[in-house]
Amino acid sequence: MAIVEFEIILAAIISMSAPLVLAVVGETISERVGIVNLSLEGSLLITAMIGFAVASITGSVLLGFIAAALLGGIIALLICFANITLYINMIAVGFTLTILLGKLSSYLGQPFVRIPGPYVPQIEVPWLKEIPIIGKAVIDQNVVVWLSIASIIIAWWFLYKTKSGLVLNAVGENPYSADARGINVKFIKYFYGTLGGAIVGMAGASFSLHSIYGWSNGHTLNYGWICLAIVIFGGWNPVRGAIGAYAFGGLQIMALKLQGVLFGLSQVLPLIPFPLMIMSLILIQYSQDKQFIPNRVRSILFGNQPEHLGDTFKRG
Amino acid sequence: MVSSLKKMKLIAISATMSLLLAAMLACNIGGEADAPAAEPMASEPIKFGMILVGPRNDRGWSQAHHDGGAYAAQKTGSEMIVMDFINPADSPDITVAQVVDQMVEQGAELIFATSEDMKDGILEAAASHPDVPMIWSSGDSAWADGDAYHPELANLGNIMGKMEYGKMMAGCAAALKTETGNIGFVGPLINAETKRLANSAYLGAKYCWEESRGKNIADLNFEIKWIGFWFHIPGVTLDPTVVTNDFYDSGADVVISGIDTTQVIVEAGKRNSSGEQVWAVPYDYHGACAEAPGACLGVPYFNWGPSYLNTINAVANDNFSATWKWLGPDWSNINNEDTSMIGFAKGDALGDDNWDTLNNKFIKGLANGDINLFKGPLQYQDGSTFVAAGEEASDKQIWYTTGLLEGIIGDAGD
């Protein structure tokens, strides 16, 4: 009985966290190459809206995802263009975009507010879903959930086990050294920054077509900020970031279960990522000043912030 | 040279932003029949305003009002001015009073304000426009015996349906279908209206569980969870999608919706289509089952058309009076669109045998008065008396319900 309940709760957490996992993976890729996509809050809002709107108009959930991914990519491309080509501070551009895109999502999304529309269907997998724990938690889900899990594995493998991932990390750590070694730094930044944005766009559509079905003003409210917090908490590692996203999903499920018992606590639990983010930043900063902490230990505990994260790359 | 390069870059940014923007822009509880008495047809069509809390096409509460207004407009040749999304979350800078001002300016001779949440605005507007008849649907400002009577507002009447009957039918349908004996109820915010509707659903479920299925009430779990408002407001309310799934994950196989949007039936449909034996009872709108027919047991719905038609005729014939009307089903045919305020549309998933029980025994019993579920003894969760033994609840007792009934699991907001 306890196992069955565990399976059910685990399945709910994995399903509910899928969009946040995608957003965390997308932002992690972007930040590892040095691009901070601070438009995340606005990007998630507008891609959630566009995903639902396109799916509603065309009747195709797939087209909804494609449209959201394209828009997410375009937004990220704008930030890259502003920073890499025009040397404008990416934080300022991202923050401005967040406000603009949030308002635009409300304005353009008005015809789609709280109306029924398409959603990602559940797929029945007859035999595999009977496997203990993973059958219910992983197999008996839908494509969005599978995609979110696959994105963690692929991102980890790519970042740490491939030559291309090494190049990506090299650009984020020290673009000048990478440039000196003949790597096309600007192209790498453009490519992975845009790719990260496209994944964030898919995360937006996952909200409106999967976990928070439909569209309403401020539909993904605060998830963008939470995602940024989790990327830091996860030490710019897709696996640790995903664990953070699942922990956040767990807090939300717990908040719901505690509604009848501790109403006040259920309001507070979803706020936990924010103090965790601040604590992580403090610890990262503290550990950098303490040479007696071996790099390996520091990396495991606090993660590795890309050395040139958020910096504008300008050839001397 | 450097300066002109910078200018070109700025122009490029502006152009890119503009392109992005342009691309996005393109895109009575005792049991007697108390259907509204028909007014003589209007001699002249009128222009009237319809203020909706949500979108006109939400397949829920707002669409039920909108369709009721459209029905009345079509019958009388009148013109309807619609303003939707009038609520603090979607339109924080627009008040009901401002909307009424605008509608009156456009020539509206009658205003319908269609949410309990519009109370302050419509009271203010009625005072500001004493010559314009108004209806505050679901309110009690014109009830002389009510707790919130406003005798000074002679132009503001109230209309509400006795959805208590509809919720009893919903509860009965759920009890007839459930295999686990676990029924969930997704509640909106906690107030007297929502508590009396939740109680009604429970009473219907209890009756059919015990009388029709011959089961012990101790084996029926009826739990309510409140999301915080009539629809999901991100960052403010709980997400009804999550609440519904949590019910199913916790063992409920039927979830009754008490909210104005369709998440409950949609989630039931998703699970049902992947082979799970779960069902739902949506709310408000007669077409709500279309969202997931295979998971739908039926829907209790409001049919505002006949009462709105009567009001328009009364205004056109210059004999409008500000009264409080709490209208029940037309028991001769609860689904008669021309006469019945409350209906229940059968869902595909209910099954013929259960429908036979619901329709020919339960609804028939409610209609002829054989079944009166608001008859004592009835107690609240805390053990206090709601209706004493041998007594029948008055309209006032029911309207101003203060708690959830004993047997319901969930917070009563006390």
Does residue B178 belong to the interface with chain A, where contact is any CB pair within 8 Å? no
Q: Which residues pair with B223 in a beta bridge?
A: B184, B409
**What is the value of pTM for the model shown?**
0.84
Tell me how far apart the alpha carbons of residues B330 and B367 are, in angstroms, rounded to a whole number: 9
pLDDT > 90: what percent of chain B? 80
pLDDT tens, position by position, B128-141: 999 999 999 999 99
Min CA distance, A113 vs chain B (Å)?
7
Does residue B287 belong to the interface with chain A, where contact is any CB pair within 8 Å? no
Report B:328-367 residues touching A (Cβ under 8 A). Answer: none
Asked if A8 and B245 come within 8 Å (Cβ–Cβ), the reply is: no
Does residue B178 share a domain with residue B104?
no
Does residue B274 belong to the interface with chain A, where contact is any CB pair within 8 Å? yes
Question: Considering the domain boundaries, does residue B158 fall inside one?
Answer: yes
Tell me how far apart the alpha carbons of residues B26 and B23 are, in angstroms, rounded to a whole number: 5
Question: Considering the domain boundaries, does residue B39 fall inside one?
Answer: no
Min CA distance, A282 vs chain B (Å)?
27
Does residue B191 share a domain with residue B130?
no
Question: Considering the domain boundaries, does residue B74 fall inside one?
Answer: yes
Confidence band for A127, pLDDT divided at 50, 70 and 90: confident
Does residue B265 share a domain with residue B203?
yes
pLDDT at residue B238, as a whole number: 84
Residue B145 carries which side chain, given as an amino acid letter?
D
A contacts of B226 (beta carbons < 8 Å): 259
- For residue B1, is pLDDT > 80? no
Which residue among B25, B85, B90 places its CB closest to the CB of A108? B25
Tell me how far apart the alpha carbons of residues A196 and B231 are, in angstroms, rounded to a whole number: 33
Does residue B195 share a domain with residue B126?
no
pLDDT at residue B27, as a whole number: 37
Confidence band for A22, pLDDT divided at 50, 70 and 90: very high
CA distances to B126, B143, B216, B323 from B152, in Å: 10, 12, 51, 13
pLDDT tens, position by position, B364-398: 999 999 999 999 999 999 999 999 999 999 999 99
Query: For tokens 């000048």, what's the residue?
Result: A176
- For residue A307, is pLDDT > 70? yes
Higher per-residue confidence, B344 vs B18: B344
B contacts of A221 (beta carbons < 8 Å): 234-235
For residue B409, give the chain A residue with the closest CA: A260
Tell me which of A62-76, A277-291, B9-23, B31-45 is least confident. Answer: B9-23
A contacts of B13 (beta carbons < 8 Å): 81-82, 86, 88
> What value does the mean pLDDT take over residues A133-154?
93
For residue A74, give the chain B residue with the closest CA: B20
Does residue B188 belong to the interface with chain A, where contact is any CB pair within 8 Å? no
Q: Which of A113, A142, A211 to mutate to test the interface with B (most CBs of B within 10 A)?
A: A113
pLDDT at residue B32, as a whole number: 38
Question: Considering the domain boundaries, does residue B35 fall inside one?
Answer: no
Does residue B352 share a domain with residue B263?
yes
Min CA distance, A221 vs chain B (Å)?
6
Q: In the structure encoding, which two tokens stand for residue A211, read together? A: 């976990």
Which residue segment(s) compose the domain that B265 sits in?
163-301+344-409
Q: Which of B7, B8, B13, B277 to mutate to test the interface with A (most CBs of A within 10 A)?
A: B13
Min CA distance, A105 vs chain B (Å)?
10
Helices (H), B27-60: none
Residue B72 exposure: Cα atoms within 13 Å on the Cβ side: 33
> What value does the mean pLDDT take over residues A143-161?
97
Helices (H), B81-162: 96-105, 119-128
Q: In the structure encoding, which two tokens stand for residue B78, read together? A: 């009148």
Does residue B83 share a domain with residue B153?
yes
Q: Which of A115, A123, A211 to mutate to test the interface with B (most CBs of B within 10 A)?
A: A115
Residue B299 carries which side chain, given as an amino acid letter?
V
Does residue B228 share a domain with residue B136?
no
Question: Considering the domain boundaries, does residue B260 fall inside one?
Answer: yes
> What value does the mean pLDDT take over residues A84-105?
96
Question: Considering the domain boundaries, does residue B140 fall inside one?
Answer: yes
pLDDT at residue A132, as a whole number: 85
pLDDT at residue B29, as a whole number: 46
Confidence band for B3, pLDDT divided at 50, 70 and 90: very low
Does residue B214 share a domain with residue B286?
yes
Q: Which residues pair with B47 in a beta bridge?
A: B79
Q: Give the mean pLDDT of chain B.
A: 90
Tell me how far apart the alpha carbons of residues B170 and A54 are, in angstroms, rounded to a whole number: 35
- List the Cα angle B351/B357/B362 in 5-degree steps: 135
Does residue B294 share a domain with residue B183?
yes
Q: Which of B249, B285, B296, B411 to mutate to test the interface with A (most CBs of A within 10 A)?
A: B249
Tell me which of A54-63, A241-250, B292-301, B339-348 is least confident. Answer: A241-250
> What value does the mean pLDDT take over residues B202-210?
98
Question: Considering the domain boundaries, does residue B96 fall inside one?
Answer: yes
Does residue B234 share a domain with residue B156?
no
Q: Which of B25, B59, B93, B246 to mutate to test the interface with A (most CBs of A within 10 A)?
A: B246
pLDDT at residue A3, as a whole number: 74
Confidence band for A260, pLDDT divided at 50, 70 and 90: low
* Secondary-structure breakdown of chain B: helix, strand, coil percentages, each rounded to the nearest 5: 40, 15, 45
pLDDT tens, position by position, A164-208: 999 999 999 999 999 999 999 999 999 999 999 999 999 999 999
Tell me which of A247-261, B170-184, B324-338 is least confident. Answer: A247-261
pLDDT tens, position by position, A63-83: 999 999 999 999 999 999 999
pLDDT at residue A316, as a whole number: 64
pLDDT at residue B299, as a whole number: 98
Asked if B13 and A88 come within 8 Å (Cβ–Cβ), the reply is: yes
pLDDT at residue B123, as a whole number: 97
Q: How many structural domains does chain B have? A: 2
A contacts of B20 (beta carbons < 8 Å): 74-75, 78
Report B:32-91 residues touching A (Cβ under 8 A). Answer: 54-55, 57-59, 85, 89-90
Does residue B208 share a domain with residue B132?
no
Asked if B231 and A216 come within 8 Å (Cβ–Cβ), the reply is: yes
> What value does the mean pLDDT take over residues B317-330?
95
Asked if B12 and A86 come within 8 Å (Cβ–Cβ), the reply is: yes
Asked if A219 and B234 come within 8 Å (Cβ–Cβ), the reply is: yes
Tell me the pairing of strands B79-83 and B221-226. unpaired
pLDDT at residue B315, as a whole number: 96
> What value does the mean pLDDT take over residues B175-190?
96
Domain with residue B351: its CATH number is: 3.40.50.2300
Does residue B261 belong to the interface with chain A, where contact is any CB pair within 8 Å? yes
Report B:101-160 residues touching A (Cβ under 8 A). Answer: none
pLDDT tens, position by position, B101-112: 999 999 999 999
pLDDT > 70: what percent of chain B? 90
Question: Considering the domain boundaries, does residue B177 fall inside one?
Answer: yes
Nearest residue to B228 via CA among B197, B193, B188: B188
Which residue among B243, B261, B262 places its CB closest to the CB of A256? B243
Which residue among A54, A86, A122 places its CB closest to the CB of B270? A122
Q: Is the ipTM of this structure higher than 0.90?
A: no
Tell me the pairing of strands B298-302 and B279-281. unpaired
Confidence band for A106, pLDDT divided at 50, 70 and 90: very high
Does residue B231 share a domain with residue B373?
yes
A contacts of B12 (beta carbons < 8 Å): 81, 86
Tell me how far apart the alpha carbons of residues B142 and B126 are, in angstroms, rounded to a whole number: 12
Tell me how far apart the alpha carbons of residues A46 and A49 are, in angstroms, rounded to a whole number: 5
Q: Give the mean pLDDT of chain A.
A: 89
Tell me which of A22-36, A236-250, B226-240 is least confident. Answer: B226-240
Sign of torsion over alpha carbons A192, A196, A198, A199? positive
Min CA distance, B141 vs chain A (Å)?
29
| Strand order from edge to edge, sheet including B254-257 | B279-281, B254-257, B182-187, B221-226, B408-409
- For residue B288, is pLDDT > 80? yes
- For residue B17, is pLDDT > 60? no
A vs B, Cβ pairs < 8 A, gives 114
For residue A210, give the chain B residue with the closest CA: B241
CA distances to A171, B31, B162, B381 from B395, in Å: 73, 12, 10, 21
B contacts of A259 (beta carbons < 8 Å): 225-226, 238, 411
pLDDT at residue A133, as a whole number: 85
